[in-house]
């Protein structure tokens, strides 16, 4: 049963229940508040944005102190970051998500998200080698948590019984539903003044291609998606697209 989340309104957990939405509605719930006026979004999220910057400062201080004194990082600020991301982008609706420090990930792997019973567990690597400043690492962690929170949101609210939901999500969880939401979250973080933001969308698209390839399926973003979300260069094939008369017609008639 597909439904609709009213644009411009914060959906409740009831309206997000899997029996009431379609993949498009999940994407709209996240993207529509950001797609409007930048100034309106910043005005509506002023308190959360302020708290986000305070968190970045606090985490950088704790990281520098932990490194200097060779002490482990606490989980408190990690949990606070997920709560801030939930409030800022997910209407506080990530009720079932839990976040933990985790050791043992391969090098260059920041963590993962996985269902665990009725909860969604976000595991974050606790490896910090000092190659970047605590301030930059704080931003990196924030962006990683936002990336994984998109997965957690979909896992929590997607229609388990509808193949279309999971087809839209993709073989690796980085299909165009995730890409559209990630694009807007990146833009919102830039609105909020967080510098150096990247949810690694291009690399995620290549991961999606590889996951579909393992299933014998050829996958690539459409021309329209490449133009809108990847600046005209396909992250999968490397092909460059430019806008032409088709795009002008679509804009003219608002297709």
pLDDT over 70 percentage in the chain: 83
Phi–psi pair at 8, nearest 5 degrees: 85, -5
Number of C-beta neighbours around residue 34 at 10 A: 20
pLDDT at 135 over 70: yes
> Residue 5: what pLDDT?
36
Whether the predicted pLDDT of 15 surpasses 60 = no
Residue with tokens 């990196």: 140
The answer on pLDDT for 250 being more than 50 is yes
**Out of 65-74, 138-147, 209-218, which region has the weakest mean confidence (pLDDT)?**
65-74
Burial 198-215 (b: 16+ CB within 10 A, else e): ebebbebbebbbebbeee
Alpha helices by DSSP H, listed for 70-193, are 76-89, 134-157, 163-169, 176-191
pLDDT tens digit sequence for 57-76: 999 999 999 887 777 788 89
Greatest mean pLDDT range, 18-27, 80-89, 167-176: 80-89
Crossing angle for the helix pair 176-191 and 134-157, nearest 10 degrees? 140
Q: Minimum mean pLDDT among 56-70, 174-188, 224-238: which range?
A: 56-70
The rounded distance, in Å, linking the Cα atoms of 86 and 33 is 14
Map residue 125 onto helix, strand or coil.
Answer: strand
Hunting for tokens 């396909």 — which residue is that? 234
| Average pLDDT value for the chain | 83
> Tokens for 228?
């809108």
Instruction: Give CA angle at 64 (62, 70), nearest 5°.
Output: 95
- Integer Cα distance of 213 and 50 in angstroms: 43
Burial profile 230-250: b = 16 or more Cβ within 10 angstroms, e = fewer: beeebbbeeeebeeeeebeee
pLDDT confidence of residue 9: 45
pLDDT for 116: 82
Is residue 46 predicted with pLDDT exceeding 90?
yes
pLDDT over 50 at 161, yes or no = yes
Task: Give the Cα separation of 88 and 48 in Å (integer).
Answer: 6
Among 57-71, 111-125, 148-162, 215-229, where is mean pLDDT lowest? 148-162
**Residue 205 tokens, joined:** 């698209």
pLDDT confidence bin for 162, thresholds 50/70/90: low
Helix (H, G, I), strand (E, B) or coil at 70: coil
What's the whole-model pTM score?
0.85
């Amino acid at each position: 049963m597909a439904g609709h989340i009213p644009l411009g309104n914060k959906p409740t957990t009831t309206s997000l229940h899997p029996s009431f939405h379609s993949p498009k509605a999940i994407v709209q719930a996240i993207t529509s508040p950001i797609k409007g006026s930048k100034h309106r979004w910043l005005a509506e999220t002023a308190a959360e944005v302020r708290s986000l910057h305070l968190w970045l400062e606090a985490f950088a201080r704790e990281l520098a102190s932990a490194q200097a004194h060779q002490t482990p990082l606490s989980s408190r600020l990690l949990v606070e970051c997920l709560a801030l991301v939930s409030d800022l982008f997910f209407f506080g609706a990530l009720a079932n998500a839990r976040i933990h420090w985790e050791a043992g990930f391969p090098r260059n792997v920041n963590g993962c998200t996985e269902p665990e019973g009725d909860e969604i567990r976000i595991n974050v690597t606790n490896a910090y080698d000092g190659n970047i400043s605590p301030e930059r690492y704080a931003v990196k962690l924030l962006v990683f948590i936002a990336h994984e929170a998109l997965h957690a949101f979909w896992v929590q609210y997607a229609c388990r019984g509808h193949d279309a939901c999971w087809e839209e999500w993709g073989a690796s969880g980085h299909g165009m539903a995730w890409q559209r939401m990630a694009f807007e979250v990146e833009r919102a973080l830039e609105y909020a003044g967080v510098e150096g933001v990247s949810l690694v969308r291009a690399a995620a698209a290549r991961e999606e291609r590889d996951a579909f390839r393992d299933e014998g399926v050829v996958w690539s973003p459409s021309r329209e998606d490449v133009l809108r979300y990847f600046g005209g260069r396909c992250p999968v094939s490397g092909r460059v697209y430019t806008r032409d008369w088709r795009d002008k017609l679509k804009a003219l008639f608002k297709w």
